[in-house]
C-alpha cells in the first residue's frame, strides 16, 4: 500500500514541471521564456524515456518471445523521442513526443493488465501530459500572432 501511495505521489508530482514550464511560456519574456520553451521539450523527452525504461523493466519478467517485443518497442520509443527533439523545432518535437506518449499508453493497454490502479493512474497521467502538450502548442501558436 505504501509503495502505491509513493508511486501515485511521484507520478502526479511529475506533472508539475510540465505545467510550470507552461506558466513560464505564457507569462515570461526573453531568456526565461526561452528556458521554459526548451525546458518543456527536454523534460518531456526525459519522462518519455523514463516510461520506456519502465516498459523495459516490465519486459524482464516476461517469457522470451513476449520479452523481445517489449524490449524492441521500449528502445524504439526512445529512438523516436530523441529523433523528435533532433528536429530542432520545438512545436514539432512536442507534437511528436505527444504521439510517443499516446503510442506507449496504447501499447501498454494492449499488452499489460488493465483495470488495475496502476493502469488507471497511467491513463490519467498520460491525459495530463497530452493536455499539457496541446496547451504548449496552442501557446506557441498564439505567441506567433
pLDDT per residue as tens digits for the range 68-95: 888 999 999 999 999 999 999 999 999 9
Per the CB < 8 A criterion, the answer to whether 85 and 93 are in contact is yes
Q: How many helical (H) and strand (E) elements, i.e. helices and strands, does the chain have?
A: 6, 0
Angle at CA of residue 45, ends 90 and 92, nearest 5°: 25
Query: 96 — alpha (psi -120 to 50), left (phi > 0) or beta?
Result: alpha
pTM of the model: 0.93
Q: What is the CA radius of gyration of the chain?
A: 16
Percent of the chain with pLDDT over 90: 77
DSSP sequence for 83-112: HHHTT--HHHHHHHHHHHHHHHHHHHHHHS
Per the CB < 8 A criterion, the answer to whether 25 and 37 are in contact is yes
pLDDT per residue as tens digits for the range 41-57: 999 999 999 999 988 88
pLDDT per residue as tens digits for the range 5-50: 999 999 999 999 999 999 999 999 999 999 999 999 999 999 999 9
Amino acid at each position: 500500500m505504501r509503495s502505491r501511495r509513493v508511486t501515485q505521489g511521484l507520478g502526479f508530482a511529475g506533472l508539475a514541471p510540465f505545467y510550470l514550464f507552461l506558466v513560464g511560456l505564457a507569462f515570461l519574456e526573453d531568456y526565461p521564456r526561452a528556458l521554459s520553451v526548451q525546458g518543456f521539450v527536454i523534460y518531456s523527452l526525459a519522462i518519455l524515456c523514463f516510461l520506456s525504461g519502465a516498459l523495459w523493466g516490465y519486459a524482464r519478467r516476461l517469457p522470451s518471445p513476449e520479452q523481445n517485443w517489449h524490449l524492441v518497442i521500449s528502445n524504439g520509443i526512445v529512438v523516436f523521442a530523441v529523433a523528435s527533439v533532433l528536429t530542432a523545432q520545438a512545436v514539432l518535437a512536442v507534437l511528436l513526443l505527444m504521439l510517443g506518449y499516446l503510442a506507449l499508453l496504447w501499447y501498454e493497454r494492449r499488452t499489460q493488465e488493465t483495470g488495475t490502479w496502476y493502469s488507471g493512474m497511467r491513463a490519467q497521467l498520460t491525459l495530463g501530459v497530452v493536455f499539457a502538450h496541446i496547451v504548449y502548442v496552442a501557446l506557441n501558436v498564439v505567441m506567433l500572432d
